[in-house]
Amino acid sequence: MATLNPVSRITNQPAGILGGGGAVLYVLFIGLPVLALLVRAAQQSDFLDAVTSDAALTALRLSLITSVISMAVVVVLGTPFAYLLARSDSLWARLLDSLVELPLVLPPVVAGVAMLMAFGRNGLIGSELESIGLTIPFTTTAVVFAQIFVASPFFIRSAKLGFQSVAKDYEDIAQTLGVSPWPTFFRITLPLAAPAMFSGLGLAWARALSEFGATMMFAGNLTGETQTMPLAIMSAMETSLDGALALSVMLLAGSIMGLVILGLLTRRRWQGRS
């Protein structure tokens, strides 16, 4: 009787038909544009020239540098914050928790306008910042600000879930065994939460690299200073489709590579755990 499993038969039929149909449609819907991008890019003769052009490399370098800085800030500040959110159930912590989710639902362009209203020349604290010699809007700093704003929730949320999955008992046991709180955190809690943190970091990084709306509003589109890859694609679209295609393929390749690395990293970690 073990081979005849009535439950899975019943549920598998709709899953097979509807799910199969849905899967085909979905693969076409996502796959076709990606394929079209690759086909069109392959058709152009000067693809390599466009990929290695000054403008493309400048934008790529800026994207990499700014996203690395953003992620460093997000990890250093976000990790203790996420730990606090995971361990505290006070009203304040719950309010903070909702605030962390806000950038996820807020359109990035609104985030850009909001940051301009805060840090811009005529912004809430912008003139004070300027008087001490700090200009943020339309500088590389603004790019980093925009990336942190939109990408940090992905890391903090994931890290929080990671910390929550580490039972408080482990920490208590470690401490009853005489391990003091700091080593407990670094040697028990952090390693156990690491897989969730890595996957959160991967998502946050992807989000930072693809950031467009807030950057456009708050940082502008200055070559070499604030023009990241997505903005360079937008600008290239104005003058040459070829340039835009080349840059798009570069970002696509980066995304796929990121997915693969993320998959390998998290899988190994989780497997090691079980």
Cβ-based nearer residue to another protein, 138 or 149: 138
How many binding residues for another protein (CB under 8 A)? Answer: 21
Going by C-beta distance under 8 Å and a sequence separation of 6 or more, which residues neighbour residue 163? Answer: 82, 83, 85, 86, 87, 189, 193, 196
Closest CA to 116 of 197, 214, 33, 260: 214
Site string for another protein, 62-101 (x = CB under 8 A): ----------------------------------------
CA–CA gap between residue 159 and residue 164 (Å, rounded): 9
Minimum CB distance to another protein smaller for 118 or for 252: 118
121 touches another protein (CB under 8 A): yes
The minimum distance between CB 45 and another protein, in angstroms, equals 14
Residues 131-190 that bind another protein (CB under 8 A): 135, 137-139
74 closest CA partner among 139, 144, 155, 19: 155
Q: How far is CA 222 from CA 41, 54, 164, 236, in A?
A: 26, 14, 42, 13
Q: Which of 69, 190, 222, 262 is the binder for another protein (CB under 8 A)?
A: 222
Which is closer to another protein, CB of 208 or CB of 244?
244
241 binds another protein (CB under 8 A): yes
Considering the rule CB under 8 A, would residue 126 count as an interface residue with another protein?
yes
Q: Least Å distance between CB 231 and another protein?
A: 11
Rounded CA separation 237/43 (Å): 17
194 neighbors 258 (Cβ within 8 angstroms):
no
Question: What is the rounded distance in angstroms from the CA atom of residue 90 to the CA atom of residue 53?
Answer: 54
Of the candidates 175, 235, 255, 266, which one interacts with another protein according to CB under 8 A?
235
**Considering the rule CB under 8 A, would residue 103 count as an interface residue with another protein?**
no
Can you list the positions of beta strands (E) in the chain?
none
Interaction between residue 263 and another protein (CB under 8 A): no
124 contributes a contact to another protein by CB under 8 A:
no
Q: Of all residues in the chain, what percent are helix, strand and coil, respectively (each to 5)?
A: 80, 0, 20
Q: Under the rule (CB under 8 A), what is the footprint of another protein?
A: 116, 120-122, 126, 130, 135, 137-139, 220-224, 235, 237-241
